[in-house]
Amino acid sequence: MLSTHMLSPDTEATLLLCGRLGKARQTEIAPLTPTEYARLARWLLHAGKRPADLLGIDTRTMLENDEPPVPAARLLTLLDRGGALALALEGWSNRGLWVISRSDEELYPRRLRASRSSPPVLYGAGDVALLARGGLAMVGSRDADVETLDFTRRAATSCAEQGVQVVSGGARGVDSEATFACLSAGGSTVAVLADSLARAALSGKYRDALLEENLALVSPYDPASGFDRGSAMGRNKYIYALADHALIISSSTQGGTWSGAVEALRHADTPVFVRNTGDVPEGNRLLREKGAKPFPAEPWADLVSELDCVSQAEEAPRSAPESAVQAEQEDVGVKFQQGQLLQLDPSRKGSVEGRDTSHPPNEDRS
């Protein structure tokens, strides 16, 4: 079991820079976005430093002299939040939550490290090892009809029976059906929450599964966060990133499921399948046109080979599945450890700055 309140120095620094540390407050300076953090990490790397080096007594001098990519004053203010960090961390620990950062080599899921805009900090409950196990992402609307929910249940049950993990967004509707169907069939599952992790971790409906280590709840957002549309959208990419394959069960032509699927298709990190049997909504058909592959028909005797089979039959994937080696090369944390510098192209750095969070720099790997 992870203990939250004894962090590695790197994670401590990352959390000070990127964590909101409790409820949102208006007066405070904004923590770094994943993009800003990635920029800072590259800058540190370039200077032969690690995040922990920002915790030293001479940090002020270092930052004020060296022109970091984020204004030094903002960094110093963020790093100065030691009291807030201590209280927030103790509160999470008190609820049985853990927190990990990109620098936690063993714990931070490799597949997320390599993903678009990988979150600098992850908060969670349950078995952190499940994050590395991949599986099938199942996404769909909050307000699903009975037929959709029945399909979800059958698919999640098959996954569980065939040892395929289910990754979902932990919302009501399809997400919740997928999670609990998988659990009742004895499978393991990961739910990537957009809000309220602290509350979910204490909820009776998840407790047994968390204790039996069949469920991991994980979120890139502060455990005290409430619902926020932007967060709900923002976490979609992590659902895809944590899975080997993704299944769109039902999508309208707008909203979170739709935009998440379109985004995933555009980046083609994870093969995207769509349910196209039965009475499927308009969104499913349009996604098929946009390149989502047809999800194999029931019964699913061997889901993984059937998915691979469809993938091969369809057009070749736009990017080859990442190898462990590639993933490692993308890994800022690993690079810190190895002390190998990635030469930063100044022109590229300039181009990076204009991007929004869905197009972060460490995605460019072609």
Partner 1 sequence: MAEDLKQKGLTVLRRALADPMAEFRDGQWDAIERLVLGRERLLVVQRTGWGKSIVYFLSTRLLRDEGAGPTLLISPLLSLMRNQIQMAERLGIRAATINSSNRDSWLDITAALQRDEIDVLLVSPERLANDAFREEVLLPATARLGLFVVDEAHCISDWGHDFRPDYLRITRVLQAVPRTVPVLTTTATANDRVVEDVVAQLGHGITVSRGSLMRESLQLQTIQLPGQSERMAWLAAHVPTMPGSGVIYALTIADAQRLAEWLQLQGIDAYAYWGGLDGEQRVELEQRLLGNDLKALVATTALGMGFDKPDLGFVIHYQRPGSVVHYYQQVGRAGRAVESAYGILLSGAEDAEITNYFIETAFPPEGHVDEVLTALHTAEDGLSVPQIERAINLSRSQIEKVLKLLAVRAPAPVAKEGTRWYATAVPYVPDTEKVTHLTAIRRAEQARMQEYVEARECLMQFLARELDDAHPAPCGRCAVCRSCPLVPETYPLSLVEQATQFLRRSDRPIQPRRQWSYNVLRGDGAGGTIPADLRAETGRALCIWGDAGWGEMVRAGKQGGWFAEVLVAAAVAMIRERWRPAPGPTWVTWVPSLTHPTLVPDLAGRIAEALGLAFVPCILKVRDTQPQKDMRNSYQQAHNLAGAFSVVRDQVRPEPVLLVDDMVDSRWTFTVTAALLRAAGSGPVYPLALCETTRTGG
Query: In the structure encoding, which two tokens stand for residue 15, read together?
Result: 């959390």
**Contact pick of 24, 129, 211, 324 for partner 1 (by CB under 8 A):** 211
The reply to whether 207 sits near partner 1 by the rule CB under 8 A is yes
- 117 CB-near residues (< 8 Å, 6+ apart): 34, 35, 38, 237, 357, 358, 359, 360, 363
Nearest to 171 by CA among 209, 149, 216, 139: 139
The reply to whether 91 sits near partner 1 by the rule CB under 8 A is yes
**Contact pick of 47, 71, 186, 205 for partner 1 (by CB under 8 A):** 205
Sheet of 215-219: strand order equals 98-101, 121-126, 215-219, 189-192, 166-168, 136-139, 245-248, 272-274, 293-294
Q: Are 5 and 90 in contact (CB under 8 A)?
A: yes
Query: What whole-number distance in Å separates Cα of residue 43 and Cα of residue 341?
Result: 10
Nearest 5 degrees, angle CA 138-CA 319-CA 256?
Answer: 35
- By CB under 8 A, which span of 91-99, 259-267, 269-277, 341-349 interacts with partner 1? 91-99
Residue 139 or 210: which CB sits closer to partner 1?
Answer: 210
Beta bridge partner(s), residue 191: 168, 217
**Contact pick of 74, 95, 142, 288 for partner 1 (by CB under 8 A):** 95
Q: Binding residues for partner 1, how many (CB under 8 A)?
A: 50
The reply to whether 5 sits near partner 1 by the rule CB under 8 A is yes
Question: What Rg do the C-alpha atoms of the chain give, in angstroms?
Answer: 21
The reply to whether 53 sits near partner 1 by the rule CB under 8 A is no
**Contact pick of 18, 75, 88, 192 for partner 1 (by CB under 8 A):** 88
Residue 5 or 229: which CB sits closer to partner 1?
Answer: 5
From the CB of 336, what's the least distance to partner 1, in Å?
Answer: 17
Q: Which of residues 19-48 bind partner 1 (CB under 8 A)?
A: 21-23, 25, 27-28
**Contact pick of 36, 50, 75, 98 for partner 1 (by CB under 8 A):** 98
From the CB of 44, what's the least distance to partner 1, in Å?
Answer: 16
**Contact pick of 96, 255, 296, 317 for partner 1 (by CB under 8 A):** 96
The reply to whether 85 sits near partner 1 by the rule CB under 8 A is yes
